Structure 1
Amino acid sequence: MKNLPNKAKYTTLGIVGIIALLVIWSFIEPRILNIENETATIPNLPNSWSGQQIAQLTDFQIGLWGDNRGTARRSIAKIVEAKPAIALISGDFLYHPGSNIESEIETTIDIIRPLVDAGIPTYAVLGNHDYGMSSRKAQPSTEQAEKLEIALEKAGIQVLENETVKLELPNSNEPLYLVGVGSLWASRDNVKQSLNTIDNNSPRIVMMHNPDTFEQFPANSAPLAVAGHTHGGQVRIPGFPQWSWLRFTQKDKVYADGWAKGFGTSGNQLYVNPGIGMSIAPIRLFCPPELTFFTLEG
């Protein structure tokens, strides 16, 4: 009984030490890039596209204090090294565009430019933060988003909003289609419009920012869909991705890290990338940044 006060003291010190280590690690983990390799099946995929790689990045959040631009640059370098058929960036390039938007856009373009210089076709959609929306109730800043879109297009990045583009490999006329949907929070999403230029049997990849858009797709219209937005929860309990910081502070439906099982209509598959950047604070805990490569198969 005499040792009880000492035991309590050591227990308290141990708990404080563990918390301190977790806090320190949460600032280190964003600098550790996780590379995921996935296989994706697309019906009616042309033979020339079978075995081709598609790279996906999302959520740079440039402009957040202590943002993760170093990891963003490393992820771009990894894509250039891998030389995939195309690269996809699914929104939230900026954190909260404001008075420093020109500088933040310049940094963003500087990070992405190596993809264009390497001749890798690169496509993007915009996210809620690109419209200055940190919540769904915020008023979208269309003017700021347009500045970003113009700069991206000028740099050679094609920005899609509710439209479909034809993808073709060199020395092949067998097309694969890319469907890009606008920002859900900014009320710029129109799934019906994005699909109206391709027939039902056309092989396609779908890109959106917010995974909640995915449930709007009719059955068998999005065999491979990619999204971002959730940061994988950003701070979470190991082994329980559904128990995360963002899970309890946002009202979005999807908080998947990877394949969102049981969501959407039949014949559709959604992959949610945890992204590179962060919201509110520049920390990640048990949720490292991710670059995803998809190998296509028919």
Structure 2
Amino acid sequence: MNRRTFLKKSIGSLLALVGLSGGTYFYAREIETGMLQLKRDVIFSKKIPESFNQFKIVQFSDTHIGFHYSLEQLNEVVNTINNEEPDLVVFTGDLVDQANTYNWNDKLIKTLKKIQASNGKYWIYGNHDHGGYGTDIVKNTMDKAGFQLLKNSHTTIRNADGELILAGIDDVMLGDPNLRKTLTAANPELFTILLAHEPDYADQVVRYPVDMQLSGHSHGGQVRLPFIGDLYTPLYAEKYVEGKHSLNNGKLTLYVSKGIGTTRVPYRFLCKPEINIFTLKTQTAKS
């Protein structure tokens, strides 16, 4: 165990014992968890067709509804997404926190169904979606809400005379991911976006013709301290915790969302929830 890992685990254990006290605890639980921010990135590539210039993709992830996150809060997220007028919306997993105890009803379906995107709405499984016998009921909910599942599969997104590939793998922890199967018959010359819940899977993705990976799972650590960073992240989110990462000399760019909800502990500290907005630009297009 290196020094940084030792410090993170030691401080994390201390916080688990004494908790966040006083005003800091109130802020982390009641204030920052509701400070939803919009994280914007511009994606440049010669592989992006002219017809996709200014094409807007909105990613939301890790809502964990039911664990200190309500349908009312989700409705605010939906309104925020629609205000962006996205061309494409993707959800990168973990819809509810515990599928076996969540009170499933049509209200969730109706809320998600309100999300509008001219080129479609897509999603992938996260570990919490498979957990608690949630696999089928989560899929049924997303189907009825108008989202298309990408489970070791891909689709071609067409805009005028241009095309790009949108692919998604099954969850790494509790599913059966197969990237080779996912990209079978996909044109490697097209700009390819992969949805993968766990960000550390990027170390496998670099061997394939993928240009951009969108992930969640980490929550950015939820609790971060100055000079130390995140105190804890789950398995397969230990190397790439948040933000942008360039792999294989820039051939693959990974973006890790901090997500929206919380899990394990109901607070965030120096790690605001976020919706991620990506604007595509071809490098030959005028800015």
TM bracket, shorter-chain basis: 0.7 to 0.9
CA distance in 2, matches of 1:252, 1:98: 24
Counterpart check, 1:77 vs 2:58: no
Q: Find out whether 1:268 has 2:270 as its counterpart.
A: no
Aligned residues: 263
Cα distance in 2, alignment partners of residues 79 and 43 from structure 1: 27
The answer to whether structure 1 residue 258 and structure 2 residue 243 are counterparts is yes
Question: CA, structure 1 residues 220+97, in 2 after alignment: closer, same or farther (shift >3 Å)?
Answer: closer
Q: Which of residues 163, 166, 182 is equivalent to 1:178?
A: 166
Determine if contact 1:26/1:284 at 8 Å carries over to the other structure: yes
Match of 1:88 among 75, 87, 90: 90
* TM-score, length of structure 2 as denominator length: 0.84
Query: Quick check: 1:127–1:183 contact (8 Å CA) kept in 2?
Result: yes
Letter in structure 2 aligned against 1:73: N
Q: Does 1:153 align with 2:139?
A: no
Question: Aligned in 2, Cα 1:197/1:282: closer, same or farther, shift over 3 Å?
Answer: same
Deviation readout 1:1-53 (Å, 9 max, x if unpaired): xxxxxxxxxxxxxxx9x941110001111111111110112342110101111
Asked if 1:123 is matched to 2:122, the reply is yes
Distance 1:197 1:107, change over 3 A: farther
Is the CA contact (8 Å cut-off) linking 2:131 and 2:174 kept in structure 1?
A: no
Q: Percent identity between the aligned chains?
A: 24
Task: Give the 3 Å change call, closer, same or farther, for CA 206–265 of structure 1 in structure 2.
Answer: farther
Matched, 1:217 2:205: yes
Distance 1:269 1:184, change over 3 A: same
Equivalent position amino acid for 1:160 in 2: L
User: Which residue in the other structure is 1:296 paired with?
Assistant: 280
The CA distance in 2 between the partners of 1:101 and 1:44, in whole Å, is 44
Distance 1:168 1:86 in 2: 11
User: Would you say 1:197 and 2:189 are equivalent positions?
Assistant: no
Distance 1:239 1:76 in 2: 34
Contact 1:215/1:265 (CA < 8 Å) preserved in 2?
Answer: no
Pick the aligned partner of 1:55 from 37, 48, 58: 58
Q: Distance in 1 between matches of 2:150 and 2:43?
A: 22
Unaligned ranges ≥5, structure 1? 1-15, 134-140
Q: Which runs of 5+ in 2 are unaligned?
A: 1-17, 283-287
What amino acid maps onto 2:75 in structure 1? R
Report the CA distance shift for 1:126/1:279 in structure 2 as closer, same or farther (over 3 A). Answer: same
The match for 1:246 is 232
State the match for 1:206 in structure 2: 194
2: CA distance, partners of 1:83 / 1:196 = 32
Q: Structure 1 residues 119, 175: CA separation in 2 closer, same or farther (over 3 Å shift)?
A: closer
Q: Tell whether 2:266 aligns with 1:282.
A: yes
Larger Rg: 1
- The equivalences for 1:20-39 within 5 A come to 20-27=22-29, 28-39=31-42
Which range moves more in the overlay, 264-273 or 188-197?
Answer: 264-273
- Residue 109 of structure 1: how far off its partner (Å): 2.2
Asked if the contact 1:41–1:223 (Cα under 8 Å) also holds between the matched residues in 2, the reply is: no
Which residue matches 2:114? 114
- Tell me how large the CA RMSD over aligned residues is: 2.3
